[in-house]
Chain A
Amino acid sequence: MVRLNRVLLKDAGNAIDKTLSEILVCPLSKQPLRFCEKTKSLVSDTIGVSFPIKNGIPCLVPKDGKILEEEADASKA
């Protein structure tokens, strides 16, 4: 149970590793990603797609990406 708490704490802190945040780019446009606090996801501004982060593991498969139509939709996404 102690192990479980440690994992939760780590995820609550910064959602992704420092290593990953330096290396990751958008799989489709190869442009840098922005971490969005509100939706806890990685956003690629150039193409307007957000990729989810599950349990601290970013899911950058193009199929998992959600399109952010406008600012209004982004909060729902």
Chain B
Amino acid sequence: MRRINSLYGRIGLLRRAPEKSTKQSHTLLASLSFSTEGSYGGDGELQQNSSKVKIFDRDLKRIHRDRAAWLSRQKNDSFVDAVAENLLDRLEDCKKSFPTAFCLGGSLGAVKRLLRGRGGIEKLIMMDTSYDMIKSCRDAQEDSLDNSIETSYLVGDEEFLPIKESSVDLIISSLGLHWTNDLPGSMIQCKLALKPDGLFLAAILGGETLKELRIACTLAHMEREGGISPRLSPLAQVRDAGNLLTRAGFSLPGVDVDEYVVKYKSAMDLIEHLRAMGETNALLERNKAAIYDSMFATEDGTIPATFQVIYMTGWREHSSHPQAKRRGSATVSFTDLQKQFGGQS
């Protein structure tokens, strides 16, 4: 374990272990007990950057994703496919082709499977934190005999992108980035890895996701223990997505939102689904399941769950992009425009 402490010590990248006062520790994540392993000594050192708060336990996430790789091997997930399809559709809207593409975490398998030659991609690089996930993608590729796109695999962390600057044309991340601790940092690294006029396409889960589950958890917890602590991870709001893109330095940013309501036979099915996507936080106690069923069941007995997906697009700046003109440099006034186009009054 000395390995990690001194490794970070060399770079001077130090993170403080999560404060006890902010109850964001997701008790079911047992993040406190995990993070002591990686508690980067020297509490006297200051954080380098205030955005580097450790909310998610990345090691636990890796384990979750290993399990998800195992669970999702057999069947295709329609929700994940729908999101990947939506993301890849946007490639058709661009006249540009992207010879080198980089796929970050999340639902890798779905993206690769549904690509079908869109966007003129010749080389695809897949990356995930979990080795098992990558291995199962590679095995699936060999089984399918579809070798028109040259695919390479690597295991890496979204927060520490091992990609040279200006080396890829396209970065796709389908439901992968909402588990990063430092989302602005990851996006900045993505931007740097892009060639000028390169595209960044990401889909993350938004704040409205699983609101039924959130309510059920809160109620159950209140009944049992008389207090509440957050069980669902903090998720980005739509208004923040735009800020994230501009902060990362992308030009022509675009954000849109889609809500998917998925119906399950019971609350346990929902949890199984979350596990298969690698999205779990915790084990669901039976109490919560009962409340969920009773509060949110629809007439036909199925349980709905909302997933709000935020799609973000951004380009690395290039001279061909339209730029906003400097203030005060306008040559035409609004009155002129009105005369030109015929005002409606």
Mask of B304-343 contacts with A, CB within 8 angstroms, 1/0: 0000000000000000000000000000000000000000
Shortest Cβ gap from B256 to chain A (Å)? 30
Main secondary structure of the interface of B (DSSP, over half): mixed
Interface residue? A23 (CB, 8 A): yes
Partner of B154, one of A28, A30, A49, A60: A60
* Chain A residues bordering chain B, tally (CB within 8 A): 33
- Which of chain A's residues has its CB closest to B138's CB? A57
Interface residues of A in 3-58 (CB under 8 A from B): 3, 7, 16-17, 19-20, 22-30, 32, 47-49, 54-58
Interface residue? B190 (CB, 8 A): no
- Which of chain A's residues has its CB closest to B193's CB? A23
Shortest Cβ gap from A19 to chain B (Å)? 5
Report chain B residues within 8 Å CB of A22. Answer: 164, 167
Shortest Cβ gap from A44 to chain B (Å)? 10
Complex: A47 Cα to B57 Cα, angstroms: 25
Taking residues whose C-beta sits less than 8 angstroms from the other chain, chain B's interface range is 35 or more
Main secondary structure of the interface of A (DSSP, over half): mixed
Mask of B106-136 contacts with A, CB within 8 angstroms, 1/0: 0000000000000000010100010100110
Mask of B42-77 contacts with A, CB within 8 angstroms, 1/0: 000000000000000001001000000000000000
Interface residue? B153 (CB, 8 A): yes
The answer to whether A61 and B7 touch (CB under 8 A), given A20-B125, A25-B162, is no
**Interface pairs A-B: 7 shortest CB-CB:** A27-B160, A27-B162, A60-B162, A59-B155, A60-B156, A17-B152, A61-B157
